[in-house]
Each structure stands twice: as C-alpha cells, then as structure tokens.
Structure 1
Amino acid sequence: MTVKNKVFWITGASSGIGKSLAIELSRQNTKLILSSRNITELNNVKQLCNNSKQVYILPLDLENYESLNTKVEQALSFYGKIDVLVNNGGISQRSLAKETNISVDKRLMDINYLGTIALTKALLPHFLQHKSGHFVVTTSIVGKIGTPLRSTYAATKHALHGFFDSLRAEIHKDNVKITLVCPGFVTTNVSINALTGDGSSQKTMDAATENGINPDRFAKLMIKAIEKEKEEVYIAGAKEKFGVYAKRYWPKLFSVMIRKLSVT
C-alpha cells in the first residue's frame, strides 16, 4: 500500500511518536485526524503539518473508554471514512511492583489496553463493512520482554499483542490489516510522564530514553512498515532487539541479563 491520499487517525498525537508521525504523514499527502487529551498541543501539531486544512482535531481520553463509540462517529464525519487507525496513545511506568498501588496498575490497564481495544472495536464495523482498513498499534519492546520498573506497563503491552494477534486471525478474510510496532528507546517525554508507584509522574527523563532514536527518524521507519503491511516490526537499538531474540532462543541467558539491569 501507499499512505498517499489515505485517511489516518492517530491517537497520542500531541507529542512524541504521534506528533512526528503526523508531521511526516502530512508531507506525504495524507488526510489526518489527530487525537489526545491536550487540545492546545494538538493545535500546535496541526500548525506544523503541511496543508493544515486536511488536519482535523478530535480530543479524546482513552481512560474514558466508554465514550469512544461517539468519538468514532465524529471521526467518520470528517472525511466519510478512515483508512488507518494508529493506536499510539498510552502512558508508561517507572516503579517497582511491590511499591505500586493497585490503582496505578488499573489506570495503566485502562489507558493502554482497554482504551485501545475499545477504540478498535468501535471502529471495526466500519472496516468490516468496507472490507478494508488497517489497525496500527504502538506497543513496545517490553510487549515482548519484561524489564524492571515496568511490570504493569509490560503487562499492558503484552496484552495488546495477545488481543491483536487473535483479532488478526479473526478478520484476515475481511482484508483488514494489523501492524504491531514495537519501539525501543525513543527520545520523547514518555519517561517524564511515566507513572510512579503512587500515581504521580516521574518528571525526569531516563538516560536511555534521552539517548534513544530520534522520533522523526522513528516516524519514517514506522511509515515504511505500514506501507509494507508488516504484521510486527521492532524499531529499536541493537540491545533492545537482542533482548527480544535472547528471550525467544536463550531464555535462561535473558533472565541473567535482565536481572543485571538497575532497579533503583
């Protein structure tokens, strides 16, 4: 496929990967719907896009997932169709499991998992009716491996893989595609906004995140994966990719490796 002239709906579009993806897609003559909770930042992203007349703003909160059917109706009213939904919205975690309040676990699951699948299910009838459509899901390398300080975050991303792998098999005959995009470290505010054990934001950037892939470069690689209709892609540094394959082929070695990571 080519992204040209396609209608893309991107969640988590006000910053980070979503912002860079929106700007890069706008350069490739797409039509955009941008969503997140932050209306001010969404409008800032819109102004950075080429041809802002082909960019609509649709605020939504994934945590309020029971309202997402209405959001789908609004999104469809803009262009009359949606070709690609990029499920990119979410929040991370930086806390030990033993120090994390259960309310924080629930919030992570509500936003990252339930919000994402609720939006997907709300849009799915449109894709099935037209026998066309593409769900793109920003998961994480920790959707394949678990690492310290991210227990519930990893669980939400593992859950997304389970859901979308199952869904892909169910709707393959309907010509609806699913691409799972697994980022490693990307230089965004993900660690700054990450929830700690009591639910407050970490407010600092991890060194690994600061030294990660530039989000603009990430967006270009992500678009290539979408156009190739890949089922799953790892856009990450060599160490993160090695962790995925070590977990698969040498699980005991991986366990030793992962225990050596800092947990403080």
Structure 2
Amino acid sequence: MALPSVMVLPLLIVVAAGVYYIYNEVMQFMSKSLVRNKVVVITDAVSGVGTECAHLFHKGGARLILCGTSWDKLESLYDSLTNDADPRETFAPKLVILDFSDMDSMEDVVAEVVECYGCVDVLICNSSMKMKAPVQSVSLEQDRNIMDINYFGPSTLAKGVLPTMISRRSGNIVLVNSIQGRLAVPFRSSYAASKHAAQAFFDCLRAEVEEFGIVVSTISHTFINASDPPPVEEPAPKPNAVTAFIAKQMTHGVRPSVLANEIMQTVNRKRKEVVLAHPIPWVALYLRSLLPSFLFAVLSAGVKDSVLAEQMQ
C-alpha cells in the first residue's frame, strides 16, 4: 500500500537525519584511527581549545607533544590524560615549555620539540593573544608583543618543523586563526593585524610546500565561547532594531569542544581552509569583497553605538 503523500516529507527527513547521524559516527570512528601513532604538536595545550584537542587526539592514539607557558598546568593536563587511559592504546604525552612572547628561546624550543620523536606529523598552532583598545591607546611594545604571540611565534615554529616534514614528504600544519584574519573589527587593530599577517603567511606557505605532500590548513573562527549561557534578564532599551540584532548575533561564539572537533576533522580530511562563523560574519566577509564602502559605513556607525561596540568580538 502506498504511503499517503502527507507522510512522504516527514519520512524523508527522518531517513536523512538517520543517514547523517550514521555518517558522523563513522567519520568520528575513522578520525581516531587516522591519527593513531601520529606525532601531534599542540601549542597552548592548556587553553580550553587546546585541552579539548589534547583529549581528542590522545584518545585517538596520537603521540602528543603538549606545549604551554605553565609547567604546573601542563602536568595537570598530563595527569588528566593518563590517569584513566589504557597504556596499550595510548601514549604518554611529552611536555614542552613554549612561550611565544620570548622569541629568543624559540631556537631551543624548536630543537626540543623535534627531538621528542625525531619528526612532527601534525603541528596545531593554537596560541593566541587578544587585545581590545582604541588605536591611539596601544603602545608599540604592546603591538610587538601581540605580533610575537599571534604571528612571529607560530610562523617560527612552523619553519622549525618544516625540514622534517619536507624530508619525509608528508605532514600537516594547522593554524587556528580568527575570523579577524579575514575581517577587521573596530577596537581590535593590533589583534586583527596579527591575525591578517598569520593568515597571509600560512596561505603563502601552503602553496610553497604542496609539492612536498605537506598540507597547510587554516581555521578561521569567531570568538571562543567557553562561558555558561547567561541568565535570562529583562531586555534593556534598544537604540534601534538593526543595532540590537547585530549586537545579539555578535554574542554568539564557538564552543571549545566544537572547534576541537573541527580541528580533528580538518586534519583527517586534509582541508585547506575552514570558516566557523554564524551568518553575520559571513555576510560581512562577502560585503568586504563586493561592497566594501557599505561595510565600512556600517562599522563606522557601529563604533558610535556603545552597545554594538561592547558586543563585537
């Protein structure tokens, strides 16, 4: 007996949802097997995203090299990874102190990272420093510091591990960047400049090393939202509908677990560029290319509105 036409669409939706669920489960299972025995370096491993990545790759059987500025935090992460782990299925991580604000130490750090296993299969550059301030209030010292952490540090580390990848003709370098590497937002001049520089460097690197079988990936995301959802409160008076809508959209962010999963999928599927953003940044990216004058006018108007200026990340 034929199904009533009214039942066809709901049935198709259920089937599609089931297929999508099975597909995701299969891909997650494959993700773990693909990173097994791979030497994976994670910078700023003690951050929210870094910790989530460490857990994912450790469960997948990767040989982790965890980097961070605090030895105590690295040891705490080490304990959380190894306490309940099966030593027959996982490897004990190696820990390396890495501080991109101290560029004089980078040569020694690179040597230590490479010496851990003699090679690097995957480098995940996850370190980042944020700054929010008007242009005229940012000192040259602050500019240099943020450039060291967000640009010079990751690029120097990438150069350091590159010879081992070239000699083996394989490897994956992942830059966990920001949407502001592609779209500048007011009051983020130094931060956006450092992210633009990093984006450009790794875009160039991608083209230069493709012939050696090395994949360079960039992940551009909106701000990391690691906080709990705020309590529901009575809405304050809104200056206007458009500004209120944009301000609400800009409060959305990417959860650390979601970004970590995306990093894992990017490595396994050898994706070259990923953008994790809700509709407003996507629209802004297109406007930047197609109607830049309009976007500049909107951003300038938004600076005058205190609500929008506070919500932009």
Structure 1 and Structure 2 fold alike (TM over 0.5): yes
When residues 254 and 9 of structure 1 are mapped into structure 2, their CA distance, relative to the original with a 3 A threshold, is: same
**Does structure 2 conserve the Cα–Cα contact (< 8 Å) formed by 1:185 and 1:208?**
no
Corresponding residue for 1:11?
A: 43
| Offset, 1:153 | 0.5
| Matching residue of 2:257 | 216
Q: Distance in 2 between matches of 1:61 and 1:28?
A: 27
**Structure 1 residue 160 displacement after superposition:** 0.8
**Kept after mapping to 2: 8 A contact 1:182/1:234:** yes
Which of structures 1 and 2 has the larger relative contact order (alpha carbons within 8 angstroms, sep 6+)?
Answer: 1
**Higher Rg of the two aligned structures:** 2
Q: Give 1:156's aligned residue.
A: 194
Matches within 5 A, 1:102-181: 102-181=140-219
The residue type equivalent to 1:46 in the other structure is Y
Q: 1:61 to 1:208 in 2, by over 3 A?
A: farther
What secondary structure, in the 3-state scheme, does the structure 2 residue paired with 1:54 have? coil
Query: Once the two structures are superposed, what CA deviation does each residue of 1:57-109 show, in whole Å capped at 9, x if it has no partner?
Result: 10111122232222222222322321001111120111111111111111111
Conserved? CA contact 2:62–2:91, under 8 Å? no
- Give the aligned partner of residue 71 of structure 1: 109
Counterparts in 2 of 1:97 and 1:208: CA distance versus 1, 3 Å: farther
Q: 1:240 aligns with which of 281, 287, 290?
A: 281
| Contact map agreement 1:66 1:118 (CA 8 A) in 2 | no
Residues 175-208 of structure 1, C-alpha deviation per residue, up to 9 Å, x if partnerless? 111001111121248xxxxxxxxxxxxxxxxx98
SS at match of 1:57: strand
Counterpart residue identity of residue 250, structure 1:
L
Structure 2 Cα separation of the partners of residues 27 and 138 of structure 1: 21
Report what 2:71 is aligned to: 39
**Cα distance change on mapping 1:150 and 1:223 into 2, 3 Å:** same
Q: Whole-Å Cα distance in 2 between the matches of residues 48 and 177 of structure 1?
A: 30
Distance of aligned partners of 1:113 and 1:31 in 2 relative to their CA distance in 1, 3 Å threshold? same
1:18, 1:154 → 2: CA distance?
21
The answer as to whether partners of 1:96 and 1:263 remain within 8 angstroms in 2 is no
Report the CA distance between 1:34 and its aligned residue: 0.6
Specify every segment of 5 or more residues in structure 2 that has no aligned partner in the other structure, as ranges. Answer: 1-30, 228-247
Farther off after superposition, 226-235 or 210-219: 210-219
- Shift in Å at residue 127 of structure 1? 1.1
d(CA) in 2 for partners of 1:90 and 1:213? Answer: 15
- Give the one of 192, 200, 220 matched to 1:182: 220
Asked if the contact 1:68–1:118 (Cα under 8 Å) also holds between the matched residues in 2, the reply is: yes
TM-score, normalising length from structure 2? Answer: 0.73
1:185, 1:237 within 8 Å by CA — same for their partners in 2? Answer: no
Structure 1 segments of 4 or more deviating over 6 A?
207-210
Give the corresponding residue for 2:238: none
CA distance in structure 1 between the partners assigned to 2:156 and 2:259 by the alignment: 26
Paired with 1:13 and 1:208, the residues of 2 have a C-alpha distance of: 29
2:123 is the alignment partner of 1:85:
yes
CA RMSD of aligned residues (A): 2.3
User: Aligned partners of 2:80 and 2:100: how far apart in 1?
Assistant: 24
Q: Secondary structure at the match of 2:132?
A: coil
Residue 229 of structure 1 pairs with residue 229 of structure 2: no
